[in-house]
Amino acid sequence: MQRTPTQQADPAHGTLSTPWAASGGGAPDLGTILAPIAADMQAVDAVIRERLSSDVALINTIAEYIIGAGGKRLRPAVVLLVARALGYRGTAHVLLASVIEFIHTATLLHDDVVDESDLRRGRATANARFGNSASVLVGDFVYSRSFQMMVDAGSIRVMRILADATNRIAEGEVLQLLNVRDPSVDEERYFSVVERKTATLFEAGARISAVLAEADRTTEDRCAQYGASLGRAFQIVDDMLDYSGHTEEIGKRLGDDLREGKVTLPLIHALRSAAPEQRELVVRAVREGHGDFDAIAQIVCDNGSIAYSGKIALKEVEAAAGALRTLPESEYRESLLNLLAFAVVGV
């Protein structure tokens, strides 16, 4: 089912209502949202291709495979939009947006190995195609290349923000590993992972743009808040779609989180709300990594866990929108607002 911004929350399917829907409007498609930075996005693509190049043939092969997989590139888009919304008119934001995408790409390469994933964005993962060792090592290459690019940016403050973000992402990976196959994971532990693994990079991207634009600290903090809230909303919806989406829509098999032993927000709520016999079924599936996924997905939906998660995602969207109120009106700010709607209903 293709979700649209005008749909209301439906406990059985997990669709979301948004502030944009309430006013009779809706988020445009991603191409329309990013139209004001189309040239900047093309410049980012060029930098990515150039900086992924290496004298080592295998690196080039895997790099081309990664580029060919596509992706929405929401994180670099946030960097570009925030910089332009704050009046930045230079070109350094293109390099920084590319750095953010490199860090994200490296984490995906490593994630897929740790999770033993074989499908991402509707195609075989790099580790499934080239092996775990190659994926880990090329992930290391992408990480180290991002560090080289940070230096090229020539800002100690930017380097500090990105270094701290990278460290927090690594912490999030370890925390997630500790939570695997543990049905006692609660919302606090879940959000500790989300904050580090997902929200941190969105937050850092928005903050470095504010630094680049020489914004005051209050504005910088508000931009960072926007990024963090967007990241949290994005992750919550992604976790919802694992139970309520479609494989062709999300680019991976439904139930992958459950099979990998990841206890996400919809499952946490279901475990808290389900009848004892339902809870026993879910607990066993989490611990063993297999079970009747359709039955468990029905438990998640029947207990209102999709709707519950959606409400929390919308609170994050509202917080992110509020953080932008002090920014001057512009097509870039409008795109940042529309990106929120896209994140919660179009992922």
* 166-171: average pLDDT: 97
- Could you write out the DSSP letters of every residue in 197-221? IIIHHHHHHHHHHHHHTT--HHHHH
Cα separation values, 215 from 18, 35, 88, 99, 208, Å: 30, 24, 10, 21, 10
Q: How far apart are CA 263 and CA 40, in angstroms?
A: 38
Q: What is the DSSP letter of 35?
A: G
* 231-241: average pLDDT: 96
Q: How far apart are CA 139 and CA 135, in angstroms?
A: 6
Q: Does residue 289 contact residue 182 with C-beta atoms inside 8 Å?
A: no
> What three-state secondary structure class fits 119?
strand
pLDDT of residue 62: 92
* CATH numbers and ranges of domains, the chain: 21-345 (1.10.600.10)
For residue 133 the two structure tokens come to 């060792």
Reported as type and span, the H/E element at residue 123 is: strand 123-124
What mean pLDDT value characterizes the chain?
Answer: 89
pLDDT of residue 159: 97
| Higher pLDDT pick, 238 / 67 | 238
Q: How far apart are CA 67 and CA 225, in angstroms?
A: 30
What is the tens place of the pLDDT at every residue in 280-335? 999 999 999 878 899 999 999 999 999 999 999 999 999 999 999 989 999 999 99
Q: Is the predicted pLDDT of residue 220 greater than 80, yes or no? A: yes
At 159, which amino acid appears? M
Burial call 101-140: b when 16+ CB within 10 Å, e when fewer: bbbbbbbbbbbbbebebeebbeebbbbbebeeebbbbbbe
Percent of the chain with pLDDT over 70: 89
Q: How far apart are CA 243 and CA 241, in angstroms?
A: 5
pLDDT of residue 123: 83
Q: How far apart are CA 93 and CA 305, in angstroms?
A: 39
CB-CB neighbours of 55 under 10 Å: 6
pTM of the model: 0.90
> 147 CB contacts (<8 Å, ≥6 apart)?
none
pLDDT of residue 144: 96
Q: Is the predicted pLDDT of residue 346 greater than 70, yes or no? A: no
Nearest CA-CA partner of 129 in 75, 192, 58: 58
pLDDT of residue 18: 45
pLDDT of residue 23: 42
> What three-state secondary structure class fits 257?
helix
Q: How far apart are CA 227 and CA 339, in angstroms?
A: 11
pLDDT of residue 246: 64
At 232, which amino acid appears? R
Q: How far apart are CA 102 and CA 221, in angstroms?
A: 24
Q: Does residue 148 contact residue 76 with C-beta atoms inside 8 Å?
A: no
Q: How far apart are CA 266 and CA 328, in angstroms?
A: 37
